Structure 1
Amino acid sequence: MIEMLKGGLILAGASFMFLAALGVLRLPDLLTRMHATTKAATLGATLIMLAVALHFAQVAVVARALGVILFIMMTAPVAAHVIGRAGYFVGAKLWSGTVKDELRPNYDPLTHELKSGLETEANARHQPRETDPS
């Protein structure tokens, strides 16, 4: 029974890793590719590490496998966010089907400064309103 579970975990993990690789090849822009690799590859690596922990069934190996899983779960989304944001800042083109670009109103491409939503609201409140000249 454990052998079937291990085989299923490895097969599912490899399938998710394959989907991540396929996403890198097939998806249209940097941000969607980052999404595919982060989600699918993280889940794939997690499933494979669970199979490793089941296979060896030793405290040291299980602890290391869980440590690897925890490390991947904590670092992969942060790394993808930073890479995606850097790509946006250097001018990576968004897919033509992108519906909403939430960074555009808050990002100054000349200074590479990003304003938070709170700063934007505060600036809008403190700027004088234009009056109608008529």
Structure 2
Amino acid sequence: MLDILVSVLLLVGSLFIVVGAFSLVRLPDFFMRLHGPTKSTTLGVGSFLLAAVVHSVDGGFTLRELLIAMFLFMTAPVSAFVLGQVGLRKRVTSRAPLPEDFPGLRG
């Protein structure tokens, strides 16, 4: 049963990483490219690490996977924030629609 759970977690993680890679290639501008891989790749690697933790239950528990997860979940959002701030300061243009483009959102 644990092998099936590990396999499912690895497949889910692979799916998230493929979606992140696809969004990096296909999305049209800097900010959209920043958002796609950051979110999905974090979930993908988190799923891989969870699979490693589940797999290590049989052979003894190590803190290595938890330390990797902690490092990943702390650094990925910070790096995305810093890259976003650099894009804003460099005045990188975005193709994303602005709030005034949506008539239903006007107050």
- Is 1:4 the equivalent of 2:25? no
Deviation, 1:91, is: 3.0
Residue 69 of structure 1 aligns with which residue? 69
TM-score by length of 2: 0.83
Percent pairwise identity: 34
What root-mean-square deviation, in Å, do the aligned CA atoms of Structure 1 and Structure 2 show?
1.3
Residue 59 of structure 1 aligns with which residue? 61
- Structure 2 letter corresponding to 1:99: L
- For structure 1, which runs of at least 5 residues remain unmatched after alignment? 101-134
Matches within 5 A, 1:2-81: 2-57=2-57, 58-60=60-62, 63-81=63-81
Secondary structure, aligned partner of 1:59: coil
Q: How many residues align?
A: 97
Q: Structure 1 stretch 79-88 or stretch 40-49: which is displaced more? A: 79-88
Hey, what's the Cα distance between the residues in 2 that align with 1:85 and 1:66?
29
Which has the larger share of helix? 2
Deviation, 1:23, is: 0.6
TM-score by length of 1: 0.67
Secondary structure, aligned partner of 1:98: coil
Residue 120 of structure 1 aligns with which residue? none
Higher Cα radius of gyration: 1
Hey, what's the Cα distance between the residues in 1 that align with 2:86 and 2:97?
18
Deviations 1:68-111 (A, max 9, x none): 1111111101100101111222232211x4214xxxxxxxxxxx
Deviations 1:17-53 (A, max 9, x none): 0000011011111111111111100000000011111
Residue 87 of structure 2 aligns with which residue? 87
- Looking at both structures, which has the greater relative contact order when contacts are Cα pairs under 8 Å and sequence separation is at least 6? 2
Hey, what's the Cα distance between the residues in 1 that align with 2:29 and 2:81?
14
Hey, what's the Cα distance between the residues in 1 that align with 2:81 and 2:30?
11
